[in-house]
Structure 1
Amino acid sequence: MRVVIADDEADVVAFLKSIVEELGHIAVSFADGNKLAQALMRETFDLVILDWNIPGKDGIDLLKWMQTALPEHPPVIMMTNRSAKKDISDALNAGADDYITKPEDRSVVAARINAMLRRNAGAGAFDAEAVYGKYHLNRLDQSVTVNGETITMTAKEFELADLFFRNADRTLSRNYIMETIWRTNAVLATRTLDMHISRVRAKLDLQPENGFRIFTVFGYGYRLETITTSN
């Protein structure tokens, strides 16, 4: 998962980055609120850890902006040295999902990050097996079964399918997919992504009549949409 660290203090960024990476996630840092806002409009992130006093748009301004400017926005943990009850209530009322007062113990920060990611990952996202309509995913042996038939997939194809099912009805940027699956966002690798998505779509027959479809969001990325059929 991709986690934003929005703070202009280098030691805080290093502290949080080490925690995020130890948890197995990708850390992306911003020291300016305006640059973060620009990134949120073109990229997908799973969590934002936000300082109140970041330059540019400050934390509260960013929280309010996300509520109105973004059709889909990630959860936010406000992490700041402000500890007054009014500050905490203001941040939560502005849209923060959690609030951590600096400084905080490393283990507590890690636990709060994990809790927020799990809470927003959706049911079954971390289970060994998960069922999405007619698609049965086994994450232990990386297999997909459809109506009792096992579909042969490469490791990357399975990881891509799993990523889309876990994020059904959520638009994923190309960079998000590339960094999550291939740990790179290199432009030269985009054809690899397109090829793998085409194979996943064909192998799993992701068509409306089967309950899901993958479509391109021009200039942004891809989306696996859940199709509800009415009788």
Structure 2
Amino acid sequence: MRIAILEDDPQQLHMMEQMVHSMGHTCVGYPTGAQLTKDLRRESFDLLILDWELPDTSGPEVATWTRQELGPDLPILIVTLRSEETDIVHGLHSGADDFMSKPLRVAEFKARVAALLRRAYPASTEEVQQFGPYRLDRTTLTVHFGEEAIALTHREFSLALLLFQNPGRLMSRDYLREAIWGQNAEVLSRTLDTHISRLRQQLQLRPGAQYAITAVYGLGYRLDSQTEGVTV
């Protein structure tokens, strides 16, 4: 998972980054709300962790902006020195899903992050998953479509599964590269484009079909589904 942390205190930011990394997730730190909201217009994250007091704004204001601009799905955790009931209520009413007071307790912080991710992105342990006419088999890295069984490489299959599990969600190029190749992998942009092109061709994910991969110029890719109420 890819997590954004908004925190202007370098020590606090470093501590949260360490905890997030120890859970196996990647993260990007931001010292100001302006920098985070700018990136949220073009980057993809699975969770936002927002400090309350910031040099240019507040965590609740960023949460409200996120709900207005990006919708209700992105989970948000607010962390702050404040602990009064009125503060908690204000934070949650601003659009946050959870609230945690500083100083942060490591085990509790990790548990809250894990719970938010679990609720927002329920993991399927099924070896075979069905998405409309597509049946994806993890054991054989094969996609069954109509009468055809299409064998994919490991990365092609992982990319296809990620797209099918997130219909209608725009995912940035960096997000997709990190999810499929890893955070530290040096992957050329055209490598992702080649994998997307092959999936379009092999799985017939084109405009007019039940599912279609849409490229959003300068941002990334989205799998549009007519069955999910998302038009291509």
Task: State the AA in 2 paired with 1:203.
Answer: Q
Partner of 2:162 in structure 1? 163
1:216–1:222 Cα contact (<8 Å) kept: yes
Secondary structure of residue in 1 paired with 2:45? coil
The DSSP-based 3-state class of the residue aligned with 1:3 is strand
The equivalent of 2:175 in structure 1 is 176
Which range is displaced more, 219-228 or 13-22? 13-22
- Bigger shift: residues 140-149 or 54-63: 140-149
Bigger mean CA deviation after superposition, 109-118 or 128-137? 128-137
CA distance in 1: counterparts of 2:180 and 2:206, whole angstroms: 23
2:61 is the alignment partner of 1:61: yes
How much is the aligned-residue C-alpha RMSD, in angstroms?
A: 2.5
How many aligned positions are there? Answer: 229
Structure 2 match to 1:204: 203
Q: Which amino acid aligns with 1:30?
A: Y
Give the TM-score, by structure 2 length: 0.88
The structure-2 alpha-carbon separation of the partners of 1:128 and 1:81, relative to structure 1 and needing over 3 Å to count, comes to farther
Check the 8 A contact 2:177/2:187 in 1, yes or no. Answer: no
2: CA distance, partners of 1:190 / 1:82 = 43
Q: TM-score, normalised by structure 1?
A: 0.88
The residue matched to 1:55 in structure 2 has which SS? coil
Deviation string 1:25-81 (CA, Å, 9 cap, x unpaired) is 111111111111111111111100110012222212212222223357622101111
- The equivalent residue for 2:81 is 81
Deviations 1:70-124 (A, max 9, x none): 35762210111110000000010010011111123222211211111121125x5
Distance of aligned partners of 1:25 and 1:143 in 2 relative to their CA distance in 1, 3 Å threshold: farther
Instruction: Show the 5 A alignment for 1:70-149.
Output: 70=70, 74-121=74-121, 125=124, 127-147=126-146, 149=148
* Cα 1:109–1:198 shift into 2, 3 Å: same
What percent of counterpart residues are identical?
A: 38
Q: Distance in 2 between matches of 1:115 and 1:8?
A: 25
Q: CA deviation at 1:148?
A: 5.9
Quick check: 89-98 or 158-167, which moved more? 158-167
**Residues 6-17 of structure 1 correspond to what in structure 2 (within 5 A)?**
6-17=6-17
Q: Secondary structure at the match of 2:164?
A: helix
Residue 16 of structure 1 deviates from its aligned partner by: 1.8
Q: CA deviation at 1:147?
A: 3.7
Secondary structure of 1:195's aligned partner: helix
Instruction: For 2:12, give the aligned amino acid.
Output: V
Per-residue CA deviation, residues 168-205 of structure 1 (Å, 9 max, x unaligned), is: 11111111112221235999711111110000111112
Aligned position for 1:216: 215
The alpha-carbon distance between structure 1 residues 142 and 109, as it changes in their structure 2 partners (threshold 3 A), is farther
Give, in whole Å, the separation in 2 of the partners of 1:23 and 1:214.
31
Listed as ranges, the gaps of 5+ residues in structure 1 are: none
Change (3 A) 1:166 1:125: farther
- Where structure 2 has 5 or more consecutive residues not aligned to the other structure, the ranges are none
Deviation at 1:18, TM superposition (A): 2.1
Q: 1:22, CA displacement in angstroms?
A: 2.3
User: Is the CA contact 2:73–2:120 (under 8 Å) kept in the aligned structure 1?
Assistant: no
Q: Which moved more, 1:27-36 or 1:202-211?
A: 202-211
